[in-house]
Amino acid sequence: MSVFFCRFFPLIIFFFGTNMARTLARTYRKKSMNINFAKRLSRDKEKIHYALEWGKGAGQRVSTGIFTYVKPKDQIQKLHNKEALLILEMKRSQMVLDRQALGSGYIPQHKIKVNFLDYYQEFVKLNSRKGNRHLSQSLNSFKKYIGRNYISAVEINETLCERFRKYLLDTFNGETPANYFSRFKQVLEGARKDGYFKTNPAMGLASKTKSNFKIKDILEADEYRKLMNTPCLNYEVKKAFVFSLYTGFRWADVKPLKWENVKENGIVNIIQKKTGELLDLPLHPIALEILGERKAGLVFKLPTADGANKLLAKWCDDAGLGKHITWHCARHSFSVLLQDNGTDVATVAGMLGHTTTKYVHKTYQRYRNTNAQEAINKLPSL
């Protein structure tokens, strides 16, 4: 009906004049906004359930989930009836506004969340994908940037967006700033479509990566042996780090590792904390030896990440390595040494728990002079 009326409205003006067209339009709007309460008595005949109805056709009635007592027995039930009827009136008013706004581009205020963080949170909930944390982390980063639990949509302008982008570049390395800012722009575009903004305030701002030129240290095969033969102040940290050297596990995966994840056939089975991907990895004999006898609960009893890295730094110094080693270096070392020994990139990616070889090519490789010499020797000679 609405499409028909809008399509032929110019013809009505042409044949009957502007005044007649306006009268017909007012009549049509009045009829389309005539929303009534439909009542239904419960089976026990003690309650009345309400729906909003604007016609007898399919889809022209919607339940409100509200009821009143037919014969209130006490003051509480009387108060319930009074407030339920007030809520019903509010719901009817909101529906009238919604229908009047159709096709106008205007979003009624009752649909706008006053705190934009509430909108952001709901957007994350509805649009997050398994294994991809960028959207939720963009929200966490935005909260840290503004430093409060409230911000209105009016406050979000191009200047604020530009400063948030700079904050991300100052805080993170690699592709992380670009990934988080892209998701932030995605949220703002969704908000624009929902009526929060006339234009996306971050539309003209490109997502930027931050190149990290510092090459992280890794451990060579002989340094593996030095560490294993050097005492550590915390034996659990030593066991867990060596285990990570032979599995490529992140700190986030090794700390919560449970015995139930270690199968009898020598395979460790986990859902990776960062990606949400399932990983089945056969264990090296040294990793199996470190595990020792099967117990219950956690495999390793570890301190905090900061505490573990401090113990790790002291242990590496005692071993005379002369390198800045953090827990994540175990993962890098695992990847590079596998590739040094001829393991193809696709297999390394799978053992690291990646679904593609992208990050192995970009992050977990290392240029070596020995590789260059081998390549040079392959050139033709006289």
| Predicted confidence (pLDDT) per residue in 260-287, tens digit | 999 888 899 888 877 778 888 999 999 8
pLDDT digits (tens, 9 = 90+) for 243-265: 999 999 999 999 999 999 998 88
Are the C-beta atoms of 268 and 247 separated by less than 8 Å? yes
Work out the burial of residue 144: count CB atoms within 10 Å of its CB; fewer than 13 is exposed, 13-18 middle, 19 or more buried: exposed
* Cα-Cα end-to-end distance for the chain: 88
Work out the burial of residue 132: count CB atoms within 10 Å of its CB; fewer than 13 is exposed, 13-18 middle, 19 or more buried: middle
3-state secondary structure of 98: helix
CATH architecture of the domain with residue range 112-193: Orthogonal Bundle (1.10)
pLDDT-derived band of residue 167, with 50, 70 and 90 as boundaries? very high
Q: Tokens 């624009």 appear where?
A: 192
As a whole number, mean pLDDT of residues 25-35 equals 56
**Percent of the chain at pLDDT exceeding 70:** 80
When comparing pLDDT for 291 and 380, which is higher? 291
3-state secondary structure of 371: helix
pLDDT-derived band of residue 93, with 50, 70 and 90 as boundaries? confident
Are the C-beta atoms of 76 and 68 separated by less than 8 Å? no
* Domain spanning 221-374: CATH 1.10.443.10: yes
As a whole number, mean pLDDT of residues 14-35 equals 55
Structure confidence at residue 210 (pLDDT) = 80
Amino acid at 60: Q
Structure confidence at residue 115 (pLDDT) = 87
pLDDT-derived band of residue 31, with 50, 70 and 90 as boundaries? very low
As a whole number, mean pLDDT of residues 94-107 equals 67
| Helix (H) or strand (E) segment spanning residue 377 | helix 369-377
pLDDT digits (tens, 9 = 90+) for 110-156: 556 678 999 999 999 988 876 568 899 999 999 999 999 999 888 99
pLDDT digits (tens, 9 = 90+) for 193-212: 887 888 999 999 999 988 76
Structure confidence at residue 1 (pLDDT) = 43
3-state secondary structure of 279: strand
Mean pLDDT of the chain: 82
Structure confidence at residue 49 (pLDDT) = 94
Work out the burial of residue 165: count CB atoms within 10 Å of its CB; fewer than 13 is exposed, 13-18 middle, 19 or more buried: buried
pTM above 0.75, yes or no: no
Determine the Cα–Cα distance for residues 368 and 221; give it in Å rounded to an integer.
14
Question: What is the largest distance, in Å, between two alpha-carbon atoms of the chain?
Answer: 108
pLDDT digits (tens, 9 = 90+) for 308-358: 999 999 999 999 998 888 898 998 888 888 888 888 888 888 888 777 777
Structure confidence at residue 372 (pLDDT) = 47
As a whole number, mean pLDDT of residues 170-176 equals 86
pLDDT digits (tens, 9 = 90+) for 64-87: 889 999 999 999 999 999 999 998
Structural domain spans, the chain: 33-109, 112-193, 221-374
Determine the Cα–Cα distance for residues 252 and 287; give it in Å rounded to an integer.
18
As a whole number, mean pLDDT of residues 50-76 equals 89
Structure confidence at residue 319 (pLDDT) = 93
Structure confidence at residue 251 (pLDDT) = 92
